[in-house]
Structure 1
């Protein structure tokens, strides 16, 4: 503490505050400061300090009351939300004892006396404000908005929210024009729901009524985002209010929505598997334009009934919209490119774990989007479940507290407060690039759906709702009181909305009438599979591959990687020339380099994907001296596109959904997600089932996401053996995905390049059962010529080592790593040419033509074996058996060799595994006794 006058310059305010604390309670400051103030004499020429000393010297002032007043103000600011009137149905808030004056040792009279006695100086201003403004503070913090900020660690953020709230900054500029616009919008929102309720009674629509203000709130966020230069908005929401948002935010015509209640258009090519989806799952896209604003697209993504699982999909789409991927290195990102708005249900927000996973992504470098704005449509009930049965927290939003997200609770029947919350949400996101949450507390006018009777389980709540006016009616009365509209104007506006809806409905009915009298047109579609387009990438010459290899091994002179790792990587300089010298990860790096050289961006994420779970990849190197990172693919001279690789959080569902969303929004980018072990994909099964494999059939989307799933029986127990191949094959239909189980590094190289080449004309998700032991197994290695002279082969033979087909009596077919186990066992050599092996590398689409051509070569075949590592009720057997049978002569025996049926994928002991694995290989070659 300096000896000179401290009450000078920028430190003056801070030191005065310290002196106040010292005078009130010397123990409230540190020992050094106490010692200074004990010997210090305030300068007589400083009026603030003089007033402070004089005021505190007055015998009528009680330091206890001063401290109590300050503490009361702090409690109001921090706990005022507990007393906020946020329930439109009028239930009393819980409040908190800390909000009562008596619990702080002060009364209104005390505050008034303190204000009168202290006339100058910092302390006088604070207490005077308390005396004059405690009730105003209560109105701010315990009115129709409740602010939660005490969980935010950053002082600047807390102070900003406090300043904006207490100044009522976001209530300004709500002029009569805006007030009228709000009435118009609420008339559209309510009118739409009332028309559907009257015209289509009992049909599901998941009405927004009770949280009608959600539409104007989203309107306000979008309007502010557009004015600030945001170039795209992506919205994710579940069922409730979706039709209303589609109509009034996305501009979907009333006639289109009404027609979907009767005759949705599913007229698509039948081979593509188009099935469509229910109306309240569908998405839409609109070009937003307002005065002076460049056209801004708004997209609402489709999503299934797993309500919150669309959240990370939307965040992934927003990230894809923000990134420019045309230059080498990590993609350049501009957060103004997109805004994500996520609309949640109050029961689903705390109830579905995907929400927590998504919130955890919000500040991670590979997933950060500069903040999403969350809106909870709080019905105060989930289906039939009361809130106290569906969550362990007071508020539905409490989960967000752990991620330091500001939370504003707002009464959905208070339009101006709702708009102010929306404006604050945007402004906070714009300033701090962080998430913001609006808890829009309303109610649900009807049941969970319109055919449901809510009074069976919540009779008292629905007695209130039955007699409760709508927010449109409340707002219309308020505008009439203010003299903004006349008594008849509100009804006229509402009637005009009803007329527009009736006209749209009449148009739909006329179309239906004409469709029943017009003969149907014969379908031009065919159920027969169309030929797959040839999208193989142009082969690279050996010299080109060598150049890429050298570039991948180049390092800055000052960069010092781990010596053991550097020796391993530098071996690739010679390995590319050696026969079968290219390992799996080496081939992958060359494939990535070739894809980037072709101008296709790549994004790879997953748990430990930078290094690779099995220490095989090492796409990111670390300097052993400085810890700095170096990514060779960022410094590739041949690269013409960005490359991004990220270690993901320990999450499968949210991360896979994020990458799915990214791939749908960036169709020209090769996006890969890698599971740490293949079985970890079961943690993301909802994303696989409801989005990846069915999104094309339901919503017409064309993702090309790659799933890398380490698979193969190595004796590591049930959880780390199987990538659950059977699940993907069961989900495969109408050319919706690709499923591969490769056995060589070259095949993997060609498959990746094929996938990248297909992005522009034949995109499909690709599931690759990647190996573990094959990563370094010499029998899975490839030569330079395998990469330069070949393309991907759906079925692999033994090549030059294959026996004469005319002498083969037993043909073994299999897929993946078990084939290499068989080749390494020596059993084929001992069979003396009577047994041959075919490796099915592409399982779906089923390589029917390739297999048929190969099977025709075996003129003296006696039996066919399908061999697999997995139990009989798992793996490829159930999928492959009927397809193989269709290709074989009717009298040709088809046998299964593998593990017996089991509830668990694999043995728990390595010794048991070895015994079973050897039995499978031996039986496949030497003979079986059961014909399937």
Structure 2
């Protein structure tokens, strides 16, 4: 075994950093480190190669000196404890996400071993001692062990739990580490930004409450318990537009879809209310719960003044099928319009049960870096209600998290308490920044709850009585954030009353206006892209269409495709296959394979860059 193997990369980096600091400012080091490096310099100066610091290893001379001293039992106790503190820091990075405050309604599971200092050979007597290892956590200089622990708790174990140590790319890990060290992994928000977030939360909460009172008993797949998704999406679009994104394609299932349509895509409340009345559509082509499947396309201006095209993909089913559509649409836009993966952002919103349980999730995720399918990174947001349909998460999956699919693509994951909306915004901004930098997927696990049953007619207490006893007493995210901002002096009770009252008046006015709508109108998805393909009426859709193609040109295409280059050598089986095809063409015969080839060939010869499903 390599005699330096006990020194992992973190230890070695610290030793090198401290030695460079010693060379420049020797008196700035802790006495134990200064004394150690003085001894190292003395040995190097007086004994040279005899000191045993060889160039045949990747470890630097100071690291080798430390390893040799350790092997001989000559490392001072203070330096030995530095390594123990480094091991503690590394444990927070790798396992801190297991000990967070990310669950808004109940205690988390207990994991062993914990991050107690005794598990790392440290004691309470060490809490007041200063350690240079503090700089590895983003602190400016040496700090006491207690200060280091408090700092690590804030970064790794508060409302955000971060998984990133499974990522093999060193540059990506370093980027993440530096990003979360800023402001101890908390956002820096000014008063205007906080009020803006509160307004989006108010829209989300008030809209759900209004539907609940006006359309009693109707299923609406409410977002209640996960309303922070709305400010999250708003911030994701704003941040991404600043980073160069011109168009967003979003896919999601039923839960929260109406809230997203109104409060992100700007669909009028009166349209939603009218659809709840069950009125017919002007286009007589629908049946069933149409409002949960419709798409939408809009151009919006973000809070920062950037114009962005946003698209909500029509939902083909109620779970994960839409993810493949989102990726396909984004890739087509990159290939045919933007020529730049940074210009189009795919967002997929998952349920916790669906992302952990459906095979298509893996099928789509593993295409992330494939040349023919990649889209420059997708932001995945899991609206995690902890019970999927009715099942406790511990009975629903074998993995610790529903987002463990992220480890397949070495993508970072942030688990966030959905009640802490500022932490949610922070995580979303990280997702935008990481995706823009590395073109990889990012997963945000938005840990909340579902206030009612799967749909509002279900009774969740039948299967989860204890959990729903807690949920029934739990305040919504708007109330939590409102109280926080009032304590900070950013909003007053009068301001809140005005905000809630004015939005209620808007909803009332739109509710009354919805009564005047005779038939509902369909918002066309990506209308600009489909303008050359008008929607046909039923009586004309089946009219005969001339699909004939000139026979002489068809034969020319067939011969061209079936003729191998004369200057190349091919295996006999391939040569015979192509010879037989030429004979078929000569005898005016076709098989299915050649027929399909000719479908593509005729389309391409007419300038149609599209493939047809057989």
Uncovered stretches (5+) of structure 1, i.e. residues with no partner: 1-11, 25-34, 43-47, 326-331, 514-524, 602-669, 673-705, 709-932
Q: Distance in 2 between matches of 1:181 and 1:592?
A: 51
- Contact kept? 1:66, 1:127, Cα under 8 Å: no
Displacement of 1:575 after TM fit?
A: 3.5
Q: Distance in 2 between matches of 1:133 and 1:588?
A: 66
Displacement of 1:113 after TM fit?
A: 3.3
Q: Distance in 1 between matches of 2:199 and 2:411?
A: 32
1:692-730: CA deviations, max 9, x gaps? Answer: xxxxxxxxxxxxxx1x3xxxxxxxxxxxxxxxxxxxxxx
Displacement of 1:488 after TM fit?
A: 1.9
Matched, 1:392 2:360: no
Higher fraction of strand: 1
**Corresponding residue number in structure 2 for 1:77:** 93
**Corresponding residue number in structure 1 for 2:290:** 278
Matched, 1:223 2:238: yes
What SS is found at the alignment partner of 1:204? coil
What SS is found at the alignment partner of 2:509? helix
Q: Distance in 2 between matches of 1:172 and 1:310?
A: 32
Displacement of 1:98 after TM fit?
A: 4.5
| Paired residues for 1:95-244 under 5 Å | 95-110=111-126, 112-113=128-129, 115=131, 128=143, 132-168=147-183, 171-244=186-259
Q: Distance in 1 between matches of 2:471 and 2:303?
A: 39
Matched residue count: 552
Q: Distance in 1 between matches of 2:87 and 2:257?
A: 45
What SS is found at the alignment partner of 2:276? coil
**Corresponding residue number in structure 2 for 1:61:** 77
Matched, 1:318 2:330: yes
C-alpha spacing 1:337/1:427, structure 2 compared with 1 (3 Å): same
- Contact kept? 2:555, 2:585, Cα under 8 Å: no
C-alpha spacing 1:564/1:293, structure 2 compared with 1 (3 Å): farther
| Paired residues for 1:572-611 under 5 Å | 575=583, 578-580=586-588, 583-601=591-609
What SS is found at the alignment partner of 1:146? strand
* 24, 36, 40: which one aligns with 2:53: 40
* Higher-RCO chain (CA-CA 8 Å, sequence separation at least 6): 2
**Corresponding residue number in structure 2 for 1:876:** none
| Paired residues for 1:586-735 under 5 Å | 586-601=594-609, 670-672=610-612, 706=613, 708=614
Q: Distance in 2 between matches of 1:357 and 1:119?
A: 42
Matched, 1:546 2:556: yes
Displacement of 1:169 after TM fit?
A: 8.0
Higher fraction of helix: 2
**Corresponding residue number in structure 2 for 1:455:** 461
Displacement of 1:453 after TM fit?
A: 2.0
Q: Distance in 2 between matches of 1:238 and 1:36?
A: 68
Displacement of 1:235 after TM fit?
A: 1.0
Q: Distance in 1 between matches of 2:136 and 2:93?
A: 23
Q: Distance in 1 between matches of 2:134 and 2:477?
A: 46
C-alpha spacing 1:463/1:568, structure 2 compared with 1 (3 Å): same
Matched, 1:94 2:110: yes
The structure with the largest alpha-carbon Rg is: 1
**Corresponding residue number in structure 2 for 1:309:** 321
What SS is found at the alignment partner of 2:586? coil
C-alpha spacing 1:502/1:391, structure 2 compared with 1 (3 Å): same
Length-normalised TM-score, structure 2: 0.80
1:170-198: CA deviations, max 9, x gaps? Answer: 74552111101011111111110111111
Q: Distance in 1 between matches of 2:193 and 2:566?
A: 60
Displacement of 1:447 after TM fit?
A: 1.9
What SS is found at the alignment partner of 2:298? strand
* 404, 419, 425: which one aligns with 1:419: 425
- Contact kept? 2:130, 2:144, Cα under 8 Å: no
**Corresponding residue number in structure 2 for 1:501:** 507
* 535, 538, 545: which one aligns with 1:534: 545
Alignment root-mean-square deviation, CA: 3.8
C-alpha spacing 1:555/1:36, structure 2 compared with 1 (3 Å): farther
- Contact kept? 1:227, 1:293, Cα under 8 Å: no
| Paired residues for 1:756-767 under 5 Å | none
| Paired residues for 1:801-840 under 5 Å | none
What SS is found at the alignment partner of 1:385? coil
Matched, 1:255 2:270: yes
| Paired residues for 1:791-802 under 5 Å | none
* 479, 486, 490: which one aligns with 1:484: 490
Displacement of 1:571 after TM fit?
A: 2.8
C-alpha spacing 1:292/1:490, structure 2 compared with 1 (3 Å): closer
Uncovered stretches (5+) of structure 2, i.e. residues with no partner: 1-11, 20-32, 38-47, 56-60, 520-535
| Paired residues for 1:334-483 under 5 Å | 334-483=340-489
Q: Distance in 1 between matches of 2:545 and 2:239?
A: 47
